[in-house]
Amino acid sequence: MQVNYAGLTLRNPIIAASAGTTRDAEQAARCEENGYGAVVLKSVQEEELMRYNPFPRFRVIRSGIPGFSSTTFYSYEQAYSGDIGQYAETVRRSKRGIGIPLIASINCITPERWPEYALACEQAGADALEIVPSCPSGMLIRDPSNDIFTISLNALRACKNAVKIPVVPKLTSQVANVLQYAEALGSAGADGLTMINRSTGIDIDVETMAPILHGGFAGHGGPWALQSTLRWIIAAYPLVKAPISATGGVTCGEDVVKCLLAGAQTVQVAAVMYLKGYGYVRQMLAEVEAYMERKGLQSLCEIIGAGSRNMKTMRQYDRETRYYARADGGACSRCGLCAPVCIYGALNFDKAAGASIDAARCDGCGLCASVCRQGAISMQAK
């Protein structure tokens, strides 16, 4: 389970991401006790307004097509509550209390503050530094006139010149070209890349006709975000030398494995800590271990980037083989979830007999098989 990331040795690849769950020494100690491989302290921000939370600031948004479900962890939690001097003291206390790597996290809005904040964290004992110009509610992202690409590069160079500890930029997808962004940061000397920070979103109460919670934009994450995280990592992995830390949408051990297959060396989690508690990481680690045993893996390092290496180009996609769906009446639970999904008129559902499929009319799209939760529909090559 041991991995190396940005010059640090971690006992396992799961990192407690920067959040309210990592706001001080007590929370850092809880992360270590429950099994995390490293902890990123809650970010300190130069912008003073960002140190004060509005209330309420969390909402679990449940939505989706009837019979299906989608969960969004919608939040507007601000940064560390103090200034850089107080933050440095929190770094010192946290470092004294834990044995796992401690990563400080900073977000500045003026160029001269980046090296100043970085040096304060290094002197306080941080093992590495995550720099976050990508904060979804920070001034740099709030103002669309800011060139986050250039700001990130300049912040990285300033911090690298100021400190000797590893410096890891946290990327946003709110740029014109994420891959060019990642390549540029890697070429500029990033010791790691955290991909991808939360984006801002909005939800509206239809009764009050106003945005929910505090009345404005908020970060949105949760299980739905994983595919976007994987998409950027699997594409960036062959292009950058800097190791990648995945963040966004990871909720179980299988998600951790997916991120490693895409090319990440570590995985950061936050939403699942809020919703399932600090101890949930133990279940995630057990699921990763079970996967390793099933695959006969001696080390997780064996699978890093395997998914990226198996990625096909558009020209390699199989457009020749034809498939059809086949229903197994014995396995069918008669739930009817598949009944409305076939746009080709090939699927017939009867409450007594279950699903049946006309192979001649079936297009082979695979939707009915994906919808079936009992495994009663399978795809067969013609």
- The pLDDT tens digits of the residues spanning 140-172 come to 999 989 999 999 999 999 999 999 999 999 999
Together in a domain, 292 and 153:
yes
pLDDT in tens, 280-293: 999 999 999 999 99
Q: Which of 170, 153, 149, 171 is nearest to 161 (CA)?
A: 153
* pLDDT band for position 70 (cuts 50, 70, 90): confident
Say if CB 375 and CB 331 are below 8 A apart: yes
pLDDT number for residue 320: 93
Q: Do residues 328 and 374 touch, judged by C-beta distance below 8 A?
A: no
Which three-class secondary structure state does DSSP give residue 36?
A: coil
Do residues 247 and 339 share a domain? no
Domain co-membership, 131 together with 211: yes
- pLDDT tens for residues 1-44? 999 999 999 999 999 999 999 999 999 999 999 999 999 999 99
CA distance 22 to 24: 6
Q: Are residues 215 and 133 in the same domain?
A: yes
The answer to whether 128 and 100 have CB atoms below 8 angstroms apart is: no
Beta bridge partners of 62: 71
Q: The domain containing residue 124 runs over which residues?
A: 3-309
Q: How far is it, in rounded angstroms, from Cα 265 to Cα 304? A: 7
Same domain flag for 304 and 318: no
Tokens of 183: 């390549």
* Residues 350, 352, 358: CA angle, nearest 5 degrees: 35
- Examine the fold and report which residue of 278, 309, 340 is the final residue of a domain before the chain moves on: 309
95-101: average pLDDT: 98
Q: Per-residue pLDDT for 87 more than 90?
A: yes
What single DSSP character describes residue 313?
P
CB 152 within 8 A of CB 134: yes
Rounded (10°) CA dihedral 111, 188, 259, 372: 80
The 3-state DSSP class for residue 254 equals helix
Q: How many domains does the chain have?
A: 2
What's the whole-number mean pLDDT along residues 267-290? 97
Verify that 302 and 330 share a domain, yes or no.
no
Which residue, 285, 309, 333, sits at the end of a domain?
A: 309
Domain CATH for 165:
3.20.20.70
150 in the same domain as 227: yes
Which residue in the block uniquely carries the two structure tokens 């800097």? 242
Instruction: List all residues 6 or more positions away from 150 whose beta carbon is below 8 Å from its beta carbon.
Output: none
Domain boundary among 259, 288, 309: 309
Is residue 303 within 8 Å of residue 46, measured between CB atoms?
A: no
Summarised one tens digit per residue, pLDDT across range 294-318 is: 999 999 999 999 999 999 999 999 9
